[in-house]
Amino acid sequence: MDNSGQAGSGRPDRASAVWEARNERDTAELARRLAGLARPGTVLALDGDLGAGKTRFSQAFAEALGVKDVVNSPTFTIIKEYEGERMPFYHMDVYRLSPEEAEELGLDDYFFGDGATIVEWASLIRELLPDERLEIEIEHAGDDARRIVLTGIGQPYASWCATIGQIGDDKHER
């Protein structure tokens, strides 16, 4: 874990963790665990190559929030809103947007709203994201395996990385 933003430094706390997913089930497990930590205003900034598992991650996250609807990639609609039993879920895909177009959508209303937000291809609009967020990079690591790098910026996200890092370590010791 990396703690580069210390108290009083003027920068938000930062921490990172790596989750080694052997298969899609492990990826979904991480998403469910993060959904369990989510609260209104949670923002997950999700990146990865095509086919890395961004949408599957989002589906598992939504399921854990109690979303009953089918969740699919909002590539053409850009933003999809879902009602969950715990809180609303806002799913965004900004791949086709410029930062200027994204800014016109009023994303802050979602980021600071009553639900949890996942932004796919988030690095394309990094300057529009909240200062405090959880950045998630999904990387191919073999056929079905994925290496998922989490970077928590600010609280509670830095603490989440410590929690997830410990769970990941325990998972692989079994």
pLDDT of residue 168: 59
Taking only the tens place, the pLDDT of each residue in 135-160 is 999 999 988 999 999 999 999 999 99
pLDDT of residue 174: 45
Closest CA to 133 of 113, 107, 160: 160
Q: Is 25 helix (H, G, I), strand (E, B) or coil?
A: helix
Q: Would the pLDDT of 170 be above 70?
A: no
Taking only the tens place, the pLDDT of each residue in 47-88 is 999 889 999 999 999 999 999 999 988 888 899 999 999 999
pLDDT of residue 171: 55
Taking only the tens place, the pLDDT of each residue in 97-137 is 888 888 889 999 999 999 999 999 999 999 999 999 999 99
Pick the CATH number of 14-173 from 2.60.40.1180, 3.40.50.1220, 3.40.50.300, 2.40.30.10: 3.40.50.300
